[in-house]
Amino acid sequence: MFSSICPLIKVQFRAKPICCSENQSTLQDAAPVRIGFLGLGIMGSPMAQNLLKSGCDVTVWNRTKSKCDPLLSLGARYKPSPKEVAASCDIVFAMLADPESALDVACGKNGAANAMAPGKGYVDVSTVDATTSKTINSYMKSKRALFLEAPVSGSKKPAEDGQLIFLTAGDKALYEIAAPFLDIMGKSRFYLGDVGNGAAMKLIVNMIMGSMMASFSEGLVLSEKVGLDPSVLVEVVSQGAISAPMYKTKGPSMVQALYPTAFPLKHQQKDLRLALGLAESVAQPTPVAAAANEIYKAAKLRGLSDEDFSAVIEALKSIQGK
């Protein structure tokens, strides 16, 4: 049995916009929020599971229905389209792989926007560019629904442990309503203002992360090339001023050429591409990220798209002639 600690919400949420006055209702009006979750991949599935384990009423959808089965066994409901999930829920969370998927699930023929209405909220936790977020926001506004972008910093393990960081922007009223649910899935959250700011912050964070991993990979390859033990390099780096949890976590498996997927390499390269586009839009040079992007593109050509992004080291080994 899971503990029932899911937050309650005033029932007016279902009949009026979220911004309705708090003093118009009483504790007797409180009812469980009906949560929808769209996209049950590496990140979405554990996030939805944490909501279920906290006693939340969750309805799920995924393109591949079999991925819903573990959630259904935990008590989730299933609907066959994003539109039907949105019709039956108060707040809909979406975790999709890329901008194209995010737009289709939100705004497509059977997208959630078709069933959004005043009193409903859509929270997109996907990593997309600002233009995509703004487009989805416009669709939701056309239905007089509220929108919050809330991309996450963190990969599979933080998602499983409820230790994600949410980078949110959009309707402040929805942020306040969604906050208790974000706190179930994450350890911290930031409200960054207007739609687009959350997307920009996430792309910059992932740009830094991708560049760091590429540089770390170069160091591991070089250390072995000059006769050093790369495992010792991992220990040295982990104890010094440049220590980062990513190096300590990923380093030992990289030395063994093992890349269990926590964050797919194809997604890292996608985020670098989007970050470079963001930089281009404001004429900001990003030569380090641009170079890193080329290495990830080379890794994709080697068939490593679905491996963890730490597998970028394999592209460098190839360059080194290994």
pLDDT digits (tens, 9 = 90+) for 181-209: 999 999 999 999 999 999 999 999 999 99
Reported as a single tens digit per residue, the pLDDT across 136-146 is: 999 999 999 99
Is 298 within 8 Å of 318 (Cβ atoms)? Answer: yes
Is 283 within 8 Å of 255 (Cβ atoms)? Answer: no
Q: Is residue 300 flagged as an active site residue?
A: no
What was the pLDDT predicted at 5? Answer: 63
Phi, psi of 286 (to 5 degrees): -135, 65
What was the pLDDT predicted at 21? Answer: 35
Is 59 within 8 Å of 36 (Cβ atoms)? Answer: yes
Q: Please give the Cα distance from 271 to 206 (Å, whole number).
A: 6
Is 316 within 8 Å of 217 (Cβ atoms)? Answer: yes
Reported as a single tens digit per residue, the pLDDT across 230-285 is: 999 999 999 999 999 999 999 999 999 999 999 999 999 999 999 999 999 999 99
Q: What is the mean pLDDT of the chain?
A: 92
Residue of 202, 250, 266, 270 marked active site? 202
Q: Looking at the chain, which runs of residues are DSSP E strands?
A: 8-10, 30-32, 34-38, 57-61, 77-78, 91-94, 121-124, 146-149, 152-153, 164-170, 186-191
What was the pLDDT predicted at 8? Answer: 63
26 pLDDT exceeds 50? no
- Section 282-298 average pLDDT: 98
10 pLDDT exceeds 80? no
18 pLDDT exceeds 60? no
6 pLDDT exceeds 80? no
Half-sphere exposure of 308 toward its Cβ, with a 13 Å CA cutoff? 19
What was the pLDDT predicted at 30? Answer: 57
- Section 141-152 average pLDDT: 97
How confident is residue 66, by pLDDT bands cut at 50, 70 and 90? very high
For residue 7, what is the DSSP state? P
